[in-house]
Amino acid sequence: MILTVTPNPSLDRTYEVPGLRRGALLRAEGDRVEPGGKGVNVSRAVAATGGRTTAVMPLGGAEGALLARLLDEQGIEVAGVPLAGSTRVNITLVEPDGTLTKVNAAGPALTAAEAAALLLAVRSRAANADWIACCGSLPRGPGPEWYAELVARTHRAGARIALDTSGEALTAALAWRPEVVKPNAEELAEAVGRSLATVGDAVKAAEELRARGAGTVLASLGADGQLLVSDGGTYWGHAPVATVRSNVGAGDASLAGFLAAGGHGPAALAAAVAHGAAAVGLPGSAMPGTADLDPASVVTTADIPVDRPLADPRTGGPS
Ligand SMILES: Nc1ncnc2c1ncn2[C@@H]1O[C@H](COP(=O)(O)OP(=O)(O)O)[C@@H](O)[C@H]1O
Ligand SMILES: O=P(O)(O)OC[C@H]1O[C@](O)(COP(=O)(O)O)[C@@H](O)[C@@H]1O
């Protein structure tokens, strides 16, 4: 069973707009609402391929009730911690050429009692979990050490942790040796404090995260595939994508595929790449089911293309 923790979940509203013009009224030509937050998406992806998962999250207000209902409709078990504030709504604007503009709300501040209740909700389920995926930004209130505390406490219960967060929350939690860390290229660059121009730069940055405490680093590099850097060696995986429809949640789908496939070794990397490639071919944050996956198209290799430039402009590579 994969237990996910999303301390700052969201309702994701996506509007298709004819174009972005500052100061103008934009009339949406289509819209959708989906459960959101990185751990929530990992649970959705695990469930979409028939895996067992429970999603732990704080829930508050009408937005929280709708989020719980949407997850229930998708057959996902939710362990909700009641919140005085209201769950946030994140907005994505999609232009006709597929360009996404996202506005992520800060979300409600958690009281000390709410943050402690969330920790307890995770800890009380830790013994039954193969993996605990701790994902996304932290809400205001508990401070950047909250994931570090969660890793320390759940490790004592014998759980294996996969962490997908950034900034101070990532830095603090590394010291407690999470088994898996899943940065994207931008988060990896931020964590090491320099831009990454090539796949080789990303490998060095991942090794640095391992030296700081990460067991395995699964680094997702957008169109440049994924890197697995671990005791068992370094591998690069990629798969062709015919049409990129939306990359929202592609990293979350990748982490779900990786953990569901055991969370180590090139076969798990291949599963992560298959999930990421399938997710970007689906609209919004839709998560791939088994029929969407094309494992035969995935290539993994220990022959790392160190000089390959990273195509993601956020990392300092050429666009
Ligand atoms: N433009 C793209 N073309 C092909 N595959 C992609 C593209 N964007 C994402 N992917 C796949 O999805 C994975 C996760 O995407 P990425 O953007 O790196 O993660 P995140 O959603 O965490 O920012 C990538 O490693 C890759 O396998
Ligand atoms: O916790 P954060 O960093 O604000 O991110 C939350 C957002 O990220 C998502 O989980 C999607 O992830 P990506 O944008 O990384 O693909 C959305 O569902 C959600 O709105």
Q: Which domains does the chain have, with CATH numbers?
A: 2-301 (3.40.1190.20)
Q: Which atom of ligand 1 is nearest to the CA of 238?
A: 27
Q: What is the pLDDT of residue 135?
A: 97
Which whole-number Å values give the CA distances from 4 to 45, 161, 216, 222, 292, in the listed order? 11, 10, 18, 23, 23
User: What's the gap in Å between 233 CA and the centre of ligand 1?
Assistant: 22
pTM score, whole prediction? 0.96
What does the alpha-carbon distance between residue 80 and residue 58 come to, in Å, rounded to a whole number? 5
Q: What is the pLDDT of residue 316?
A: 41
Helices and strands (H and E) in the chain: how many: 9, 14
123-128 long-range Cβ contacts below 8 angstroms, 24+ apart: 123/153, 123/154, 123/157, 125/3, 125/54, 125/56, 125/79, 126/3, 126/154, 126/157, 126/158, 126/159, 127/157, 127/158, 127/159, 128/1, 128/3
Ligand in closest contact with the CA of 164:
1
- The partner residues of 238 in beta bridges, in order of sequence, read 299
Q: Which atom of ligand 1 is nearest to the CA of 311?
A: 1
Q: Which atom of ligand 1 is nearest to the CA of 221?
A: 18
Torsion of CA 45, 134, 71, 114, to 10 degrees: 180
- Whether the ipTM is more than 0.85: the answer is yes
> Is the separation of the CB atoms in 179 and 216 below 8 Å?
yes
What is the CB < 6 Å shell around ligand 2?
8, 10, 12, 36-38, 41, 90, 104, 136-137, 248-252, 285
Ligand in closest contact with the CA of 257:
1
Ligand in closest contact with the CA of 42:
2
Q: What is the pLDDT of residue 97?
A: 86
- Kindly report the protein residue whose alpha carbon is nearest to atom 7 of ligand 1: 223
User: What's the gap in Å between 184 CA and the centre of ligand 1?
Assistant: 8
Q: What is the pLDDT along the chain (319 residues), one digit of tens a residue?
A: 999 999 999 999 999 999 999 999 999 999 999 999 999 999 999 999 999 999 999 999 999 999 999 999 999 999 999 999 999 999 999 998 888 899 999 999 999 999 999 999 999 999 999 999 999 999 999 999 999 999 999 998 889 999 999 999 999 999 999 999 999 999 999 999 999 999 999 999 999 999 999 999 999 999 999 999 999 999 999 999 998 888 899 999 999 999 999 999 999 999 999 999 999 999 888 999 999 999 999 999 999 999 999 986 554 443 3
> Is the separation of the CB atoms in 110 and 140 below 8 Å?
yes
Q: What is the pLDDT of residue 311?
A: 86
Catalytic positions are 252
Q: What is the pLDDT of residue 318?
A: 38
**Cα four-point dihedral sign 244, 246, 247, 249:** negative
User: What's the gap in Å between 305 CA and the centre of ligand 2?
Assistant: 29
Q: What is the pLDDT of residue 208?
A: 98
Best CA proximity match to 51, nearest among 310, 287, 305: 287
Best CA proximity match to 256, nearest among 164, 166, 187, 120: 164
User: What's the gap in Å between 36 CA and the centre of ligand 2?
Assistant: 7
Which whole-number Å values give the CA distances from 257 to 51, 65, 106, in the listed order? 10, 28, 28
User: What's the gap in Å between 59 CA and the centre of ligand 2?
Assistant: 17
Q: Which atom of ligand 2 is nearest to the CA of 36?
A: 18
Which whole-number Å values give the CA distances from 208 to 173, 228, 236, in the listed order? 15, 13, 17
